[in-house]
Each structure stands twice: as structure tokens, then as C-alpha cells.
Structure 1
Amino acid sequence: MIETPFDLSYHYDDNLQDVPNNSGEMQQAIDFWQAQLDQPGLEIFQRIKLLGRIGGYARTLRNLDRAEQALSTALTLSKAIENRRFEAANSIKLAHVYQWQQRYVESETMFEAVITLCQNDPEAAPYLDFAYQHFGKCKFDQQKYAEALQCFEQALNIRMEKGDSELIASTELAIATTHSRQKCHDSGASATYH
């Protein structure tokens, strides 16, 4: 698969959502991958990888319909070839799309299923921290801050074992943001009742 020369970097906003640093280049990357996807004779593994990339970055660009379509196809193909690693990765990404579509029941059901998959299948196990991290963000979006913190703590424990400083920093940011939001939420709620 040809690597993209485009800027795919992003940062997190106050709601723990990823925001592209260069939306134009991110869109160019999606178009670039789409052109590869349209090539005849593409192997199924390459097709799944391209669909996963398109879906993930389309979500970041808030093109949720395109993201859902690409990731649903990637997930279907992953299950068809019984590749648990691809299944876990694309399930997390699709659940994240459902979350942003505010389809929380579907999102939570999918996150719970992928956590179970990661806990029970060694091939999917490397994605367990990602599943907890994104499940936490789903809880955060619903203002279920205590539950979000539990998920983030689970992710952090795994990430500390992995020793990946970038992933650890991402989870620590999520925890700090959730604590802050929880304090504001609790003080606002208590002020209402006085």
C-alpha cells in the first residue's frame, strides 16, 4: 500500500474529540486512498486497511455517513475472513462513528462486544486499551463521568504496561478533562438544588 504524503495530524478539543490540523490535506488523503481502493485486483487485506483508514479519517472530518459506510464494509470483510485483529479495530472505529451520531445504545453495545472479543481472543487483545479509551469517550459524551473514568483508568493501566508515552498522554488528558468536567457538572447540579 502506498503511503500518503498528506498531513494527517490532529489535536483534541475540550470534548475529547479529534480535530484535524489540516482538513484539506486529510480530505486529499481520503481521496488518495479511495483511488487505490478503486484499483482492480486489490487483495482483501489491502481493501480492509484502506476502508478502515477512509472511515477513520472521514469521521475525524465529520463526514459520518461516509465513515459509517466504509467501516461497515471493512467490518463485514473482516468477519468474512475471520481476522479478529481487523474485526476489533474496525468495530472500535464504527462504534466511535455511532457515538458521534449520538446512537449511544448501538455504540455502547458494540464497544462492550469488542471489549469481550479483546479479552477472549489473543489476536484482538492488542486493541483492548483502545476499546476502553473510546468506550470512555462515549460515556463522557453522555455526561456519565464516573463510568468514563473507570474506562479511562482501565485503558491507562494497559497503556502503562505497553509503555507507549503518546497513548499514555492521550489517556491522561482524557482523565484530567473528565475530572474537570465532572467537578463543573457536580457543582452546577448542586447549585441547582440549593
Structure 2
Amino acid sequence: MKIDDLKKKLVSLQSFIYFDENNFLREKCSNEDALQRVIINFERAIFECKNWSKTEELIFLYGTIGNLYRIKGEAKSAIEALTKAVELSEGNKQIVNLIRLGEALKYAEQHQQALSTFNAVIDQCAIEEHSQLLDFAFQHKGKCLLELEEMSAANECFRKAMDLRVRKGDESLINSTQRALELIKLHGGLE
């Protein structure tokens, strides 16, 4: 299957992906069968791509399937795929896959490893060429801290993410961070 066809399948899957307000805004899928079909297509593509040794395609495939496994709740498979994506990538692609890996670690209840990963990403994002991803690093670190009930530290991360997102002017990202800040209030956190 061609990469463009796989990307179309991902777009169709987006209508089933949501953030669970009752579970710390973790991503979930309301159509497990559709998710599994997309995963199977990506697994086939990875097998084919390994035979071609096209690194850019492998990075995309491993990163995406890792993300899909995480959403499905298969954290071990997610961590394995995302670790490969991180090993193969560099620059912004490596940072994106490190953030995804941190999320997979969080879903696997390995919160301290997730925090270490997010902190490494924040350090990497301090370099000017990667700074456009810093808001994502703070957002995901904040969500991890929220699950650990470290409300003050989570709030601080969300505030940093919000400042960066307001500068970007991306309403969907601003709304995402606003929902996270509201979740802190719901859980008896800061005002």
C-alpha cells in the first residue's frame, strides 16, 4: 500500500479519535474495528518498506503505528514502534517521535520515564531550530503531571504551553490547553 493511501486512511480514522474528559484527556477511539484495520494496513506497509529500506517512510510508518497502538491501549507495541521511529529519525521528526514515545510511556503507567522523556524534549526544543515544538512538550508533560496529581507543576506546564500557543495563534491548540487547565480545576487543583 502506498504512503498516500495510508494517509487517507488516517484522515478517515480522525472522526473516531477523541480526548476522554474522564481519563485525563487521553486519546481514545470510538471505533476499535476501524482502528485495527488501519493498524493492519500500517503493519503490512512496514513489512514491505523494510524490504525497500526507505528510511523516511519507515520513520513515518513506525511513528504513526506507534501512535495508533497507544490509542488502542497496546502500550508495549506502541513503545517498541516509537523507539524504532526515534532511532531512525533526527531533528524535528525525532522530537515529534520522542513526544509520542513519552505519551506511550505515560499510557503504560511509566510516568517517571515519560517525564524524563518530556524533559529531554524540552531541552532539545531550547535549541532555536526546534522551538516550534516546545508547546507540545510542555502540554504533554503537563498532562503527565496531571495524572500524577502534581497540580501546581502541571498548571505551570500548561501555562507555558498556553503562552507559546497564543503566540502561534492556533485556536485548536489554544483550546486544547484551555481544556487541560479546566481539568486541573475539576480535579480540585489551582484556580
Question: Matched residues in 1 for 2:113 and 2:69: separation?
Answer: 19
Q: Give the Å deviation of 1:121.
A: 4.5
Highest CA radius of gyration, 1 or 2? Answer: 1
Contact 2:76 2:108 in 1 (8 A): no
* Greater percentage in helix: 2
Paired residues for 1:23-42 under 5 Å: 23-39=32-48, 40-42=51-53
Match of 2:77 among 66, 71, 90: 66
Q: CA RMSD in A?
A: 1.5
Paired residue for 1:56?
67
SS at match of 1:18: strand
Question: Matched residues in 2 for 1:29 and 1:182: separation?
Answer: 38
Q: Calculate percent identity across the aligned residue pairs.
A: 27
Question: Matched residues in 1 for 2:42 and 2:97: separation?
Answer: 17
SS at match of 1:182: coil
Contact 1:52 1:74 in 2 (8 A): yes
Paired residues for 1:85-104 under 5 Å: 85-104=92-111
Q: Give the Å deviation of 1:26.
A: 1.6
Match of 1:4 among 1, 4, 8: 8
Runs (5+) with no aligned partner, structure 2: none
Match of 2:174 among 165, 168, 178: 168
Runs (5+) with no aligned partner, structure 1: 187-194
Paired residue for 2:87?
76
* Alignment size in residue pairs: 179
Question: Matched residues in 2 for 1:159 and 1:77: separation?
Answer: 29
Contact 1:8 1:26 in 2 (8 A): no
TM-score (norm 2): 0.88
Q: Give the Å deviation of 1:61.
A: 0.7
Question: Matched residues in 1 for 2:151 and 2:121: separation?
Answer: 21
